[in-house]
Amino acid sequence: MNHIDALFDLFNETILDRGEDYYIEGHVKKVQYSDNGNTVCAKVLGTEAYDVEICFDRAPKEAMSCDCSYARDGHYCKHMAAVLFAVENDPQAMSESDEEKLPDIETMISKLTETQIRALLIQTAKDVPLLRDKIYYLTTHELRRDQLAKWEIELKEIAEEYEDYHGFISYHNAYKYADSLCCFLDDRVPSLLKNQHVEAAFELTDLVLRSALEADIDDDGDIQEVEDHCDSMIIHILEDADMAVKEKLYQQTFEDLEKHKADDGAWLYAGRLESAFQDPGFKERTLSFFRKIIDNEDEFEADPIFVQSLILSCIRIMKELGRAKEEIAVFRAPYRDMREIREMELQEAIDEKDYEFAISMVETWRKKEGLYEHELKRFSEKLIELYKAAGKMDAYAGEVSYQVFHFSQSDLRYIDILKQLTIAEEWESVRETLLSAKTIQGQRLELMAKEKLFDRLWKHIHQNNDYLSAKRYEKDLTPCFAEELRDFFFKNVREEMLRANCREHYRTAIRHLKEIEKYPDSAETIRRIADEWHTQHKRRSSMLDELKKAGL
């Protein structure tokens, strides 16, 4: 554990602060240590559950990993920092899991008399409302008249626990609030269902969902998790309900959709009608109602984007009901302007290997006015794929050329294809045109390297003082430009140290200086630069400490 301070030094202050917040708020779960205590694994709850591993017997730069996207990009994330704070504040956790620390409850209870257990249960039920409610529902099939109002009060109290003075739930508390709502639901629905209170379970789930949607919250996907949880719960509630109850709840949802069809609630209730009520009879009624809204869009005052979602819902329901392909095709024909419909028809044509029809569709779409560049690029990419599949090699070659010279390229994929399609005598001319084209601006150096144009590559790097590209193409350039690269890196490492203002920056600059050792005649210059830093920065103790660690 003696490396923990060195690991903390890797983080910038903002990430470290957010990591500490995550630790304090209890986001770090399932902390487990290896037998020798040198490795810790944990789950950190953020937008989702992230796996963090820290190996204290590795070099600091290689010691930590997390599967969040920020860490995958090479950064030190708040989830890593949260686990470090957990380790720093809980060293005893190295040898025992949380479960191993718990006393043996079953053994302890077995030693109590029935009278003691009864007295303890009565007292605990008086102190814990949730336990009291569970006992109530286990002993009666009747639902308390004031239960819905009671739930509303409890949900309001949960929100108030995480709100600030202005009634706002910050990102610090967003996850805990969402988790509390899900737990509130999970703690009550099973007891309700066990006693056949299906309608009450349904109403409670709807109440929890409305509470989440109405909250004034800095939402980072947490409310979506509540929505998903409630949707799953509704499906579970209806699974074993008898048809009379399903019919009542279907009618209630149907009326809610009619009531909210002009606001955001429409999405919620339409989704519930489609996903929760799976019986064919309900699906037929849902399909009929959705089509009525679509056909009378103005009369229903529905949001056009919502109507488009209903069109896609109708197609899904028709497929689930086993409607004929011809019937589905007739239904969707008027809506071919929708991207999802176009892609659906295109995929069907490709699946049936009807490439001529697929090509004609894409070529027609591309001719429409007002398309954005990214849409035109996507159409071009699809045509390249289709022309090749159809064996139309002239059209294929022409489209590849069009793609390369008209749209920004993120890699050399299409450029490589273009080279394969170009005769050798003409490639040099085509390549020169490419190197001056704006569409490959981000890939120009990579093309130079691939084509072994090292003189031009080095000239560009040197003129633009492009350190990152120099490191990227160092192996390619070293055979011809070893001395030039060495001097270039010396110049840049001096500038890097001038900008450095913390231990991590000092360490990085010193590492870069040490990396120049592999170049010939570099040792003396490295020593001279290190001496300059010792002389010029006498008061930077952390810099001097890092120089000493590096043997400089």
pLDDT of residue 322: 94
**Per-residue model confidence as pLDDT tens digits over 137-171:** 566 545 666 788 888 898 999 998 888 888 898 88
Higher-pLDDT residue of 145 and 414 is: 414
Give the Cα separation of 552 and 548 in Å (integer).
5
Give the Cα separation of 204 and 133 in Å (integer).
14
Burial of 169 (0-12, 13-18, 19+ CB in 10 A): buried
Name the H helices within 411-502: 413-421, 424-435, 444-450, 454-463, 467-472, 474-499
Q: C-alpha distances in angstroms, 503 versus 61, 136, 187?
A: 13, 61, 49
* The residue type at 523: A
Sequence-ordered list of residues with C-beta below 8 angstroms from that of 26, at least 6 positions apart, any chain: 176
pLDDT of residue 95: 40
pLDDT of residue 431: 94
Give the Cα separation of 445 and 474 in Å (integer).
12
Question: What is the chain's mean pLDDT, rounded?
Answer: 86
Give the Cα separation of 523 and 516 in Å (integer).
8
For 14, the token pair is 């903002």
pLDDT of residue 400: 95
Beta bridge partners of 64: 54
pLDDT of residue 135: 74
- Whether 257 and 266 have beta carbons less than 8 Å apart is answered as yes
Q: In what order do the strands lie in the sheet with 64-66?
A: 28-33, 39-45, 49-55, 64-66
Beta bridge partners of 65: 53
Question: Measuring CA to CA, which residue among 166, 200, 173 is closest to residue 185?
Answer: 200
Give the Cα separation of 245 and 279 in Å (integer).
13
Q: For residue 165, give the H/E element and its range.
A: none
pLDDT of residue 389: 95
Which of the four pLDDT bands, split at 50, 70 and 90, describes residue 330? very high
The pLDDT of residue 91 is above 90:
no
Q: C-alpha distances in angstroms, 311 versus 77, 266, 270, 300, 349?
A: 42, 14, 12, 15, 20
pLDDT of residue 102: 45
Higher-pLDDT residue of 29 and 478 is: 478
- Whether 467 and 492 have beta carbons less than 8 Å apart is answered as yes
Q: What angle do CA 498, 504, 507 make, to 5 degrees?
A: 70
How many CA atoms does the CB half-sphere of 525 hold within 13 Å?
19
Q: What angle do CA 160, 166, 172 make, to 5 degrees?
A: 65
pLDDT of residue 391: 94
Domain ranges across the chain: 4-97, 139-336, 347-459, 470-549
Higher-pLDDT residue of 188 and 299 is: 188
pLDDT of residue 97: 40
Q: C-alpha distances in angstroms, 275 versus 193, 282, 318, 333, 356?
A: 20, 11, 13, 25, 37
- Region of poorest pLDDT, from 99-103, 123-127, 424-428, 433-437: 99-103
- Sign of dihedral through CA atoms 507, 508, 511, 513? negative
Higher-pLDDT residue of 101 and 435 is: 435
Mean pLDDT of 493-504: 88
Question: Measuring CA to CA, which residue among 279, 274, 212, 271 is closest to residue 247?
Answer: 279
pLDDT of residue 94: 41
Buried b / exposed e along 503-518 (16+ C-beta atoms within 10 A): bbbbbbbbebbeebee
Q: Please give the distance of CA 20 from its chain centroid, rounded to a whole number.
A: 22
The pLDDT of residue 526 is above 80:
yes
For 160, the token pair is 């108030």
Count CB atoms within 10 A of the CB of residue 291. Answer: 16
- Whether 430 and 422 have beta carbons less than 8 Å apart is answered as yes
pLDDT of residue 136: 66
The phi and psi torsions of 453 (rounded to 5 degrees) equal: -90, 65
Name the H helices within 296-443: 297-300, 304-320, 325-332, 339-351, 355-366, 373-390, 393-406, 413-421, 424-435
**Per-residue model confidence as pLDDT tens digits over 369-397:** 788 999 999 999 999 999 999 999 999 99
Which of the four pLDDT bands, split at 50, 70 and 90, describes residue 1? very low
Give the Cα separation of 259 and 257 in Å (integer).
5
The pLDDT of residue 422 is above 90:
yes
- Whether 461 and 470 have beta carbons less than 8 Å apart is answered as yes
Mean pLDDT of 80-86: 89
pLDDT of residue 321: 94
Give the Cα separation of 355 and 389 in Å (integer).
7
- Whether 522 and 483 have beta carbons less than 8 Å apart is answered as no
Higher-pLDDT residue of 75 and 466 is: 466
pLDDT of residue 540: 85
**Over pLDDT 90: what percentage of the chain?**
40
Give the Cα separation of 234 and 253 in Å (integer).
12
pLDDT of residue 489: 93
* The residue type at 104: D
Beta bridge partners of 50: 44
The pLDDT of residue 208 is above 70:
yes
